[in-house]
């Protein structure tokens, strides 16, 4: 799975991945990408829990079998607009950089488009791959944990 990055502060101001300390933002970003790619990739490690993988696979398979397209499903634009307007501001953006602050001023304009999209998803039971992406951001929270060991 790879080693956790060691974060170095003040004296060296860099992050150590393996035995190498990276100091520039591009290299750090690239190394974090490699770290999380390894972390979330299937593993052949002796510590890999095959029973858990099989359990999850079975449950996902059962869930997929129960999903039935509903040709009458309809998402109303006013529901989408109400959801957009009720979202709290100041939250982190999605991986594409869109925040609720971008959507609130144009809620009435984008709500019909989003309602059409979500209706199609419910009617076809197909979720586009782009909707399954996420963004992982490391944040150090103050406390008693040492800053050089992010476990």
Whether 17 contacts 5, CB under 8 Å: yes
Choose between 113 and 129: higher pLDDT.
113
Same-domain check for residues 8 and 43: yes
Q: Please name the residue that has the structure tokens 């594409």.
A: 96
Domain extent at residue 29? 1-67+136-151
113 and 144 in a single domain? The answer is no
56 shares its domain with 76: no
Q: How many domains does the chain have?
A: 2
Looking at the fold, whether 78 and 16 belong to one and the same domain comes out as: no
- In 3D space, the residue among 81, 85, 116, 82 whose CA is nearest the CA of residue 100 turns out to be 85
Neighbours of 17 (CB within 10 A): 20
Residues 2 and 29 in one domain: yes
73 and 59 assigned to the same domain: no
53 and 6 inside one domain: yes
Q: Which pLDDT tens digit goes with each residue over 92-122?
A: 887 788 899 999 999 999 999 999 999 999 9
46-104 confidence digits (pLDDT tens): 777 788 888 888 888 888 778 788 899 999 999 999 999 999 999 888 778 889 999 99
What's the CA gap between 91 and 66, in Å, rounded? 34
Domain assignment of residue 129, yes or no: no
What tokens does 132 get? 């399954």
For residue range 3-22, list pLDDT tens digits in order.
555 544 444 567 788 788 88
């Amino acid at each position: 799975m790879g080693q956790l990055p060691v974060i170095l502060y003040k004296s060296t101001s860099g992050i150590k991945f393996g035995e190498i300390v990276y100091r520039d933002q591009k290299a750090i970003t690239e190394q974090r990408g490699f770290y999380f790619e390894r972390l979330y990739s299937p593993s052949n490690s002796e510590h890999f829990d095959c029973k858990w993988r099989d359990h999850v696979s079975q449950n996902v398979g059962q869930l997929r079998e129960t999903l039935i397209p509903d040709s009458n499903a309809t998402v109303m634009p006013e529901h989408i607009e109400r959801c957009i307007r009720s979202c709290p501001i100041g939250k982190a953006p999605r991986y594409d950089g869109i925040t609720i602050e971008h959507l609130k001023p144009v809620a009435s304009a984008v709500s019909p488009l989003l309602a059409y999209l979500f209706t199609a998803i419910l009617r076809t039971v197909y979720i586009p791959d782009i909707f399954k992406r996420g963004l992982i951001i490391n944040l150090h929270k103050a406390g008693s944990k040492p800053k050089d060991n992010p476990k």
